[in-house]
Structure 1
């Protein structure tokens, strides 16, 4: 085991989860752990949680990974993000509200990381250029560009863990006339600051979480109007005056957008909230996962092990109701396979298991069904390892309540408080309306006078 080598591609939440899984094994007394190298394109850990003002290309000419923007707040309860082995109480020393801003959540995520133990494995500013697999030696060759040395490096590995995420390569559709639109056209990936659109009429194309949240942010920070254009179904919330939904955009004439219902409107800027592509330019076709954003990608045994080559492991490739604990559950399971604690079945048995999960997924009809589906997936992984048990089913119930709270008040759901499934601590409440709290910094948020929740909050 000691002579085995593992490459982890990416030091975001999934890659860090894999590193922590091996660190947990080391602390538990496991000897002869494999050699681990983690390649990270950015110059810091955190992946998508690293905010940058840059768009397009970074300082090394690499595509900017992050889609985070100023003033972003959690759009789901922190109680559904809480690590089983590191609570919000432990990190902050007191109760905080259920919906903190990005900087507060990142502080919590990074607080769990033992940097002294983890950083020694990570090579920063090292984007992966190419990965190949030799069937005779059963080893991968990984080539990276080390921007710190200015040279490419090549190493051999027994396992490759792809933890590069799938929310960083924009899906950018075309609409007739858009090339003549006189205002700004951008993808949600490049959205950085809602204040840029103060006093403007904004069109958001797409009807998922990006449109919902960016639309809310632009409204909060003074956009004159926000229009959300949907392809299939409207988000359906009771929006405040100045924020509306329209059926699919058909074309532009100058700065006039025309919609499928025959209506039209003048716009100053267009933000494409049209999702992301699964993009692995460093993988040849025979190793590359080809899928769309869904709760159970095909050709991944247990949602991780590539059917064509189970030495290739994909983490965090699912659409996500659950996030951090799901990444942990996957990382612990993957670790135990790499340590030979869990034996993978033969190819046909793996295929049968994938088909069984896909069949279950096909039967989901509602958001609640989808939440229960992902909860059962996580439960299966957790039960197979020594990852600390956590109340995934209770978190599923919170997610269902979150959906109801959004329907009740899309601009006020972040003022709700929930109870931790880890510590049983009740969250505090914001001292005022979310719409009125403009400072999203860690210092600004933690200086607020949080309110003890009303008894009816749950």
Structure 2
């Protein structure tokens, strides 16, 4: 089904509701990346009266939601391929809680996949519609890769940021990137995502193991694993999905997960898929030995082990941030380097939350701080806050890799509420929180069916009611439920209890 380029019902209706505050202090801002974070950053910056320029190395907007058939030449590395989607990927959040707060992610006449947990094509279509709706495409320089960001001063001594970039588009189709160019901006907003630099499991003896290895970054379809014995490392959403994808064609699939053996079920709903504790070591005869002593002779290992944060364009500029075991810092509230705020910021680092709304809140905060509408603490106060945050993590026994994890224990949404207060925006709706918490609980309880079986129709009624201000079509099923009788607070408490 061909996607429409005309305004959808959602786009047209939300257009009538948009308002722009009068500009205060205006800045020319470089935004690095045109994924979900970069697009909403550009919108919030422009709404605040700034002049954003968005740099995107791909041929279109959408960031990580752009599917690329090509896999990396290095199956364990990024290899120049930015996309990390596999063909069968569907969202692990229901669409109504996933979208930006003022631009609902609903199925409409432009949808290619109307399911509640749609495939990646639908998310890309949503982001493209968002860019059209808010006239962002003219702000984006496609096929333009930022290669350096450095602090600079002009002849009058005014501080700024020199952004160096290379453009494939200007060099012509099929050409290499043209020579480096640079421009000076008042501020930089980093939105380059964190799904491009693979993180690999450290396995004793893997150097002598004869099988093939791949990171999920390079996985697209299961066909290459036909009839093989495959070990999957990791059981977060990608590990769950890919293990089941491959089980459809493989002889056997064995998943190594961090849960203790007593806490897990060794068998699954698939007759050829088993769960194991983590790998102890690999042997030269092809065996993979798990920590409980069990072993299999495997043809392939697929690392579903996540990604590293990386900012290659900042590597020549000392003193901005460092990356230490998935901790990007020092950053005040995951966004601002204290001694450089607000002129450089990072949007999109947190995980385990409802990310698109978080991106929007972070973007509004950055835009307001740059204009002077929002006052930040002093650099010293921000640094003290960062130090206290790190100390609190250490006291709780949380590793550095949990620094940007917003759901370490359960979903309290304290960070999102704090951002809303700073920005003077309404807090995230209660139904959205409840749907999210309940949905996360279902993933672990019903990994096979959580996308297609749910029992929260009463929450959907409340969601559709709230979203109706942005869309003229509200599904008729809403009338089936008495929204006033829904106790959202008790539902949320129950969902969080299930997670714990």
- Measured against the shorter chain, the TM-score band is 0.7 to 0.9
Does the CA contact (< 8 Å) of 1:169 and 1:279 recur in 2?
A: yes
Q: TM-score, normalised by structure 2?
A: 0.75
State whether structure 2 residue 103 is matched by structure 1 residue 86: yes
Does the CA contact (< 8 Å) of 1:175 and 1:252 recur in 2?
A: no
Q: TM-score, normalised by structure 1?
A: 0.81
- The residue correspondences of 1:166-315 to structure 2 (distance < 5 A) are 166-219=194-247, 221-231=248-258, 233=260, 236=264, 239-240=268-269, 241-249=271-279, 250-283=281-314, 284-293=317-326, 298-310=329-341, 311-315=343-347
Does the CA contact (< 8 Å) of 1:75 and 1:213 recur in 2?
A: no
In 2, the alpha carbon distance for the partners of 1:331 and 1:228 equals: 38
Does the CA contact (< 8 Å) of 1:17 and 1:327 recur in 2?
A: yes
In 1, the alpha carbon distance for the partners of 2:190 and 2:138 equals: 19
Report the alpha carbon displacement of residue 394 of structure 1 after superposing the two structures with TM. Answer: 3.0
In 2, the alpha carbon distance for the partners of 1:93 and 1:55 equals: 29
In 2, the alpha carbon distance for the partners of 1:279 and 1:247 equals: 29
Does the CA contact (< 8 Å) of 1:87 and 1:423 recur in 2?
A: no
- The residue correspondences of 1:87-166 to structure 2 (distance < 5 A) are 87-89=104-106, 91-92=108-109, 96-114=114-132, 117-134=135-152, 137-149=158-170, 150-166=178-194
357-366 or 225-234, which moves further after superposition?
A: 357-366
Query: Which residue is equivalent to 1:6?
Result: 29
Secondary structure at the residue paired with 1:141? strand
- Aligned length, in residue pairs: 419
357-366 or 129-138, which moves further after superposition?
A: 357-366
Report the alpha carbon displacement of residue 162 of structure 1 after superposing the two structures with TM. Answer: 0.6
Query: Which residue is equivalent to 2:53?
Result: 37
Secondary structure at the residue paired with 2:52? strand
In 2, the alpha carbon distance for the partners of 1:233 and 1:210 equals: 20
Secondary structure at the residue paired with 2:256? strand
308-317 or 378-387, which moves further after superposition?
A: 378-387
Match of 1:47 among 52, 58, 63: 63
Secondary structure at the residue paired with 1:154? strand
State whether structure 2 residue 422 is matched by structure 1 residue 401: no
171-180 or 407-416, which moves further after superposition?
A: 171-180
Unmatched runs of 5 consecutive residues or more in structure 1 = 26-32, 427-450
In 1, the alpha carbon distance for the partners of 2:453 and 2:228 equals: 30
Q: Deviations over 1:206-230 (max 9, x none)?
A: 34332222112223x3332211113
Report the alpha carbon displacement of residue 104 of structure 1 after superposing the two structures with TM. Answer: 2.0
In 1, the alpha carbon distance for the partners of 2:189 and 2:59 equals: 20
- The CA RMSD measured in Å over matched residues stands at 3.4
Secondary structure at the residue paired with 1:384? helix
Report the alpha carbon displacement of residue 52 of structure 1 after superposing the two structures with TM. Answer: 0.1
82-91 or 343-352, which moves further after superposition?
A: 82-91
Unmatched runs of 5 consecutive residues or more in structure 2 = 1-23, 171-177, 399-404, 468-476, 482-490, 492-500
State whether structure 2 residue 419 is matched by structure 1 residue 381: yes
**Structure 1's 304 and 367: CA in aligned 2 closer, same or farther, altered over 3 A?**
closer
State whether structure 2 residue 388 is matched by structure 1 residue 372: no
In 1, the alpha carbon distance for the partners of 2:200 and 2:414 equals: 34
304-313 or 45-54, which moves further after superposition?
A: 304-313
**Structure 1's 146 and 57: CA in aligned 2 closer, same or farther, altered over 3 A?**
farther
5-14 or 245-254, which moves further after superposition?
A: 245-254
**Structure 1's 146 and 205: CA in aligned 2 closer, same or farther, altered over 3 A?**
same
In 1, the alpha carbon distance for the partners of 2:79 and 2:46 equals: 30
